Amino acid sequence: KQPAAIIGAGIAGIATAVRLALQGHRVTVFEAQDSFGGKMHQFELPGGYRFDAGPSLFTLPALVDELFRLAGRDPQDHFRYERLDPITQYFFADGTRLTAWADAGKFAAEVEAKLGVPATDVTGFLRRSGQAYAATESTFLHKSLHKAGTYLSKDVLGALAALPSLGLTGTMHQRHASAFTDPRLVQLFDRFATYNGSDPYQAPATLSLIPHLEHGIGAFYPEGGIYSIARSLVELAEELGVAFRYNEPVEEILTAAGQVTGLRTAQDIYDFGVVVSNMDVVPTYRRLLPTQPAPERTLGQPRSSSALIFYWGVTHDFIELGLHNIFFSQDYRQEFRAIFEEKTVADDPTVYVNITSKKSPADAPAGHENWFVMVNVPHNQGQDWDALIQKTRRAVLDKVSRVLGHNIEPLLRAEQVWDPRGIEQRTSSFGGALYGSSSNNALAAFLRHPNFSGKLHGLYFCGGSVHPGGGIPLCLLSAKIVAGLIN
């Protein structure tokens, strides 16, 4: 087997390394930073607050277990997680509070009690979503959509033809608005568009299957936090002989006669017949393959949203909050118009607060909490971020203080901010977009970059900027597809 190089130790790069090592390749991972994880890194703030920097919501843990099983290990010995119940605390602009229970019947009963929506509307919707997910999952997520064999196969054509009968036509918002008359419930389900950085008013109805992941299959919390996903898989990769070279950014992918031949870094030139880029696909072409023709149409697809995150050490314990908390905006349509059309941050944004110390008490001192406070924002296009950060910080403090009836600002003992510029700088993600290109049109799934190069033999792509898309589960699936293609 050819030696293989992976550019980037993001979650997809790590998972690809595990799979290729198991397939008998000698694997080297080149990472620009001094450690692994990419967006999934962790850090601490003074005073004893630990934070997962990026992802906080974890679904489809079986995709992590699968890697340990492939290696002949019992996942339980390396990576443990619990199923969340409840999943999320919702705070609506009109003062309504709602707990999203994992159990569909209990959740539906809560919706009936708090919103007055018949429980059967919710259970019926979730059941139909589950059926539609089962009918489309293997086609759209588990295979390369860009190999003629897949593209023309009966199941792809069959899945596409079945979309209308599954109720998956129009936009995501249209599907929810036709299923529910209560605008709060529509807003709750529309929010799932943000799970891949999209706009529910533009994204296709197929994205309304995302809630099924959480309410059908479950949302999970890994022991020790999200970072332990990356850490446990790096440990597995190292056991399998994968070499990680940190602080060694790749500067060029070397090619000859339509074939990848190796890599150049500041330290050395290396020979490799197989190269997998886990770096965002846009800078992979622009910076590492400057003399190769780039697939401009693909690279020009609109970006997904980015995020503005305030990491706060809070000197109080809020019993009404859980691990995941959502403080909704009053006008959701205006919020997405601000992000995707006006390229700015809404005056009244929806605020997401993730508190891992609810599950991992060691993440904050006793009686304190570690708040990861996130607002969806556009990707970086040169906006005045310093001004937007000030404006948004004020809006978030006012809103959360008002809803909780407790002035938050005096409780902040430690603070750090991550904005789209910083996300881009730290991970090389184009514009700091969290999930590569957005899914704001019906063809987005087909317009993402394939997991292989059509021009350069031996060049492959994994990670959130390529097929099947961003987010932890899809990144893990990209690794599976790449390993399958190389095999």
Q: Of 180 and 270, which CB lies nearer to ligand FAD in the complex structure? A: 270
**Minimum distance of ligand FAD from residue 411's CB (angstroms):** 22
Q: Of 180 and 360, which CB lies nearer to ligand FAD in the complex structure? A: 360
Q: Who contacts 316 (Cβ-Cβ below 8 Å, separation ≥6)?
A: 367, 368, 369, 406, 411
- Residue 397 in tokens: 């403090």
- Residue 43 in tokens: 């850090």
CB of 318 closer than 8 Å to CB of 367:
no
Q: Would you give the DSSP letter of residue 466? A: B
61 binds ligand FAD (CB under 6 A): no
463 binds ligand FAD (CB under 6 A): yes
435 binds ligand FAD (CB under 6 A): yes
The site map against ligand FAD for 330-369 (x = CB under 6 A) is: ----------------------------------------
d(CA 27, CA 6): 7
**Part in contact with ligand FAD (CB under 6 A); list of ranges 51-59, 160-168, 175-183, 384-392:** 51-59
- Residue 212 in tokens: 């099924």
d(CA 224, CA 25): 31
- Residue 312 in tokens: 């706060």
Contact pick of 4, 122, 145, 307 for ligand FAD (by CB under 6 A):
307
**Minimum distance of ligand FAD from residue 31's CB (angstroms):** 5
Q: Are strands 250-256 and 259-265 parallel, antiparallel or unpaired?
A: antiparallel
**Minimum distance of ligand FAD from residue 98's CB (angstroms):** 20
Task: Determine the size of the site formed for ligand FAD (CB under 6 A).
Answer: 36
279 binds ligand FAD (CB under 6 A): yes
Contact pick of 4, 18, 40, 326 for ligand FAD (by CB under 6 A):
40
CB of 423 closer than 8 Å to CB of 39:
yes
325 binds ligand FAD (CB under 6 A): no
378 binds ligand FAD (CB under 6 A): no
144 binds ligand FAD (CB under 6 A): no
Q: Of 38 and 225, which CB lies nearer to ligand FAD in the complex structure? A: 38
**Part in contact with ligand FAD (CB under 6 A); list of ranges 24-32, 102-110, 115-123, 401-409:** 24-32
Q: Of 173 and 467, which CB lies nearer to ligand FAD in the complex structure? A: 467
**Minimum distance of ligand FAD from residue 35's CB (angstroms):** 8
d(CA 248, CA 310): 29
388 binds ligand FAD (CB under 6 A): no
**Minimum distance of ligand FAD from residue 167's CB (angstroms):** 25
Q: Of 40 and 179, which CB lies nearer to ligand FAD in the complex structure? A: 40
Q: What is the 3-state secondary structure (H, E, C) of 319-359?
A: CCCCCEEEECCCCHHHHHHHHHCCCCCCCCCCEEEEEHHHC
7 binds ligand FAD (CB under 6 A): yes
**Part in contact with ligand FAD (CB under 6 A); list of ranges 83-91, 332-340, 440-448, 462-470:** 462-470
Listed in sequence order, the DSSP H helices in 142-266 are 148-151, 154-162, 172-179, 183-190, 210-212, 227-239
The site map against ligand FAD for 218-257 (x = CB under 6 A) is: -------------------------------xx-------
Contact pick of 2, 23, 26, 33 for ligand FAD (by CB under 6 A):
33
The site map against ligand FAD for 390-429 (x = CB under 6 A) is: ---------------------------------x---xxx
Kindly write down the DSSP assignment for every residue of 28-69, as one continuous string: EEE-SSSSSBTTS-EEEETTTEEEE-S---B--THHHHHHHH
Q: Which long-range contacts (CB under 8 A, 24 or more apart) does 180-185 make?
A: 180/117, 180/121, 180/125, 181/117, 182/115, 182/116, 182/117, 184/92, 184/94, 184/96, 184/98, 184/115, 184/328, 185/111, 185/115, 185/117, 185/122
Signed CA dihedral, 175, 179, 183, 184: sign only: negative
Q: Who contacts 206 (Cβ-Cβ below 8 Å, separation ≥6)?
A: 136, 140, 163, 168, 445
Q: Of 108 and 451, which CB lies nearer to ligand FAD in the complex structure? A: 451
Identify the CA nearest to 467 among candidates 457, 456, 454, 455: 454
Contact pick of 21, 172, 472, 486 for ligand FAD (by CB under 6 A):
472
Site residues, ligand FAD (CB under 6 A) = 7-13, 30-33, 38-40, 54-57, 249-250, 278-279, 307, 309, 423, 427-429, 434-435, 463-464, 470-472, 475
